[in-house]
Copies of this chain bind each other. A is one copy, B any other.
Amino acid sequence: MQRYFLTEPYEAKEHYTIMGENYHHIVRVMRMEPKQQVFLVFSDRLAIIAEITEVTEEAVYLKEISKEQAKKELPVNVTIACGYPKGDKLEWVVQKGTELGSHKFIGFPAKASVVKWDKKKLAKKTERLKKIATEAAEQSHRQFAPDIVLLEKEQELLDVFSSYDKVLIAYEESAKVGERSRFATALSELVIGESFLIIFGPEGGFSPTEIEKFQEHGGIICGLGPRILRAETAPLYALSAISYQFELV
């Protein structure tokens, strides 16, 4: 069943009105008609099953049938921060990272990042990534479409450390020397509802200076197992482990 994300918070109403892009998808792409049902997901993560009552030239009107009961979101808020990688890897990470439950994605220019994007390019990319995140959230039946923030300076990332309950940095050198306990320890200390920032390097990894800065600001460096993971794989490992720890075990 199709799922549509709305920008307003939930409010019990006689009917809900859909216009714009969602209207276009419902009416022109899916060609839906009265009596058919969809999921409507509100900005405060509440989702309902709604039935179409009327379709006009400008809007689709729906009434609520029931609330979506199942909890689809990770019980901890995870933000994935990636040093800008090459090519379209950031698109991959956002798409798969959204399926896997990430709440937010931050891109930042790491020292080893090859790509250099100016303000204009960053704005365009942000729009594109937002679309990818929303589409992936719909496909994976989430109750929330992740935020996307692309930074111009690495310092801006350091500045937000304090707004998280825990900050971890996946560091290849830690994995190489066999560091394996900090990630699991950090997960075991997280409480439901807390927020977690995990930082991943670009293809060239992090420099010792960057690692020092991260640690000075309260970040914990850790390995993610004995095998070296690519820049685009490591975030998926972390999210899967978090889901497994909090949702399956």
Q: Are B183 and A72 in contact, with the CB atoms below 8 A? A: no
Q: Are B230 and A99 in contact, with the CB atoms below 8 A? A: yes
* Interface residues as binary, A225-241 with B (CB distance below 8 Å gives 1, 0 otherwise): 11111100100111011
Flag whether A249 is at the interface (Cβ < 8 A): yes
Q: Are B244 and A184 in contact, with the CB atoms below 8 A? A: yes
Flag whether A181 is at the interface (Cβ < 8 A): yes
| Cβ–Cβ < 8 Å partners of A70 in chain B | 178, 226
Chain A interface mostly: loop
| Cβ–Cβ < 8 Å partners of A181 in chain B | 248
Flag whether A125 is at the interface (Cβ < 8 A): no
How many copies of the shown chain assemble into the complex? 2
Q: Are A100 and B233 in contact, with the CB atoms below 8 A? A: yes
**Total interface residues in chain A, CB < 8 Å:** 37
Q: Tell me which of A100, A139, A226, A230 has the highest count of chain B C-beta atoms within 10 A of its own C-beta.
A: A226
Q: How far, in whole Å, are A248 and B224 apart by their CA atoms in the complex?
A: 8
| Cβ–Cβ < 8 Å partners of A230 in chain B | 96, 99, 139-140
Beta-carbon nearest neighbor of A244 in chain B: B241
Min CB distance A76 to B, Å, is 14
In-complex Cβ contact of A244 among B72, B178, B240 (8 A): B240
Q: Are A100 and B248 in contact, with the CB atoms below 8 A? A: no
| Cβ–Cβ < 8 Å partners of A178 in chain B | 70
Q: How far, in whole Å, are A227 and B244 apart by their CA atoms in the complex?
A: 12
* Interface residues as binary, A118-157 with B (CB distance below 8 Å gives 1, 0 otherwise): 0000000000000000000001111000000000000000
Q: Tell me which of A181, A236, A244 has the highest count of chain B C-beta atoms within 10 A of its own C-beta.
A: A244
Beta-carbon nearest neighbor of A136 in chain B: B230
Q: How far, in whole Å, are A248 and B245 apart by their CA atoms in the complex?
A: 11
Min CB distance A30 to B, Å, is 18
Q: Are B248 and A241 in contact, with the CB atoms below 8 A? A: yes
Q: Tell me which of A100, A176, A230, A249 has the highest count of chain B C-beta atoms within 10 A of its own C-beta.
A: A249
Q: Are A236 and B228 in contact, with the CB atoms below 8 A? A: no
CB neighbors of B among A192-249 (8 A): 224-230, 233, 236-238, 240-241, 243-245, 247-249
| Cβ–Cβ < 8 Å partners of A228 in chain B | 99, 139-141
A interface with B by C-beta (< 8 Å): 70-73, 96, 99-101, 139-142, 176, 178, 180-181, 183-184, 224-230, 233, 236-238, 240-241, 243-245, 247-249
State the 3 A-B residue pairs at the shortest beta-carbon distance, nearest first: A240-B240, A241-B244, A140-B227
